[in-house]
Structure 1
Amino acid sequence: MALDITAGILGIEAEVAQNKVKHLKMWIFECRDPSHQAFNLGLAAIILLSLAQIIANLLGGCICIRSRGEFEKASANRQLAVASLFFSWIIWAIGFSMLIIGTMANSKSRKSCGLSHHRILSIGGILCFIHGIFTVAYYVSATASARDNSRHQTPTDPQA
């Protein structure tokens, strides 16, 4: 969660740094100078968001459901784990893409003109916070599901 919060703050700070550079706007087109600080902050946000996704998946373990019937028969904790994992991957993909687009817009060494990309980095930053909520939900529900599975398994007596 700390990685997601930090990535979100960095994404929003990258947006602030990007808005400090000179720009000329006409309708939906905009000409502006790239911001090296926005590029660095965006890159750090991308790395932290990806690291948070990797760690959450490693700590949560493998929750595999192969069919809809298996999903319907699964415990509530297991269903929540699968849903949280699914949504965390979708939010990661969208947030990652937005942070990449915003960061790459600031990577050029020359003045760029094109369609306006306002708030791309800040929306990516906000998605980092939402990603953190889903990864925590995934970890908690996956851990609870694993605990439930270990309780329902009856130990076998080797002497019986």
Structure 2
Amino acid sequence: MLQMLITGLLWFSAVGCGLLAGLYFAFSTFIMTALARTGQAAGIAAMNAINVTIVQSLFMPVFLGTTAASTGLAVIAIFRWSEPGAMAMLAGGTLYVLGMFVVTMIFNVPLNNALAATDPASQEAASLWARYLTEWTWWNHVRTVASTVACALFIAAIAAR
């Protein structure tokens, strides 16, 4: 029974990490560039609309569920260290939680909140938008890599089992 649960968590986490890696990859490779090209007020308005919509979408269950499953897999791996795939489970879970979830909470969300609190047409917004485009995107690159590598590690754990 526990083996089936672990296998299910691995599959769920691998798929969740893959979905989120794809989303973050899109933001890193073209969405943020497109928003920057629309101009300050339009870019800020669009990003604020995205940030409001995303937390009301299926993104949140995948985001939170994958974080919970990845955390669980990391903990399980510690207690089942001698089993095949445990190292990949621990590495994938830890990388995902730190490189995706913690980075999101410490860096991306506060930047989103600051952007939401500014008047898109104000002079203050100009410096915030420039900083946002650079810093938010850099941390999004971190999330993209962490999610992608965690996905691969969970797949490796599945293969090892």
Measured against the shorter chain, the TM-score band is 0.5 to 0.7
Does residue 130 of the first structure (1) align with residue 142 of the second (2)? Answer: yes
Q: Judge conservation of contact 1:63–1:82 (CA < 8 Å) in 2.
A: yes
Shift of residue 136, structure 1, vs aligned partner: 1.0
1:10 has 2:31 as partner = yes
Give the TM-score normalised by the residue count of structure 2. Answer: 0.56
CA contact (8 A) 2:93 2:150 kept: yes
Distance 2:113 2:61 in 1: 16
- CA contact under 8 A between 2:71 and 2:93: conserved in structure 1? yes
Q: Does 1:41 align with 2:38?
A: no
Q: CA deviation at 1:112?
A: 6.6
| Count of residue pairs the alignment pairs up | 129
Gaps of 5+ in 1: 19-34, 152-160
User: Could you tell me which of 82, 85, 90 is aligned with 1:79?
Assistant: 90
Name the aligned partner's letter for residue 47 of structure 2: L
Higher strand share: 1
Tell whether the 8 Å contact from 2:70 to 2:97 is kept in structure 1 after alignment: no
Instruction: Report the structure, 1 or 2, having the larger helix content.
Output: 2
Letter in 2 for 1:54: V
Secondary structure of the structure 2 residue equivalent to 1:122: helix
- The reply on whether 1:51 has 2:38 as its aligned counterpart is no
Question: 2:122, 2:71 → 1: CA distance?
Answer: 47
2:154 matched residue in structure 1: 142
What TM-score do you get using the length of structure 1 for normalisation?
A: 0.57
- Would you say the 8 A contact 1:13–1:41 is kept in 2? no
User: What is residue 133 of structure 2 aligned with on the other side?
Assistant: 121
Residues 41-91 of structure 1 show CA distances to partners (whole Å, capped at 9, x for unaligned) of: 35436739x939936954x95552448x92693632122112212221112
Deviations 1:76-130 (A, max 9, x none): 21221122122211122222321332243245xx74769x535123311221122
Query: How many Å separate the matches in 2 of 1:61 and 1:141?
Result: 14
Percent identical residues: 7
User: Whose radius of gyration is greater, 1 or 2?
Assistant: 1
Unaligned stretches of 5+ residues in structure 2: 1-20
For 2:25 and 2:116, how far apart are their aligned partners in 1? 18
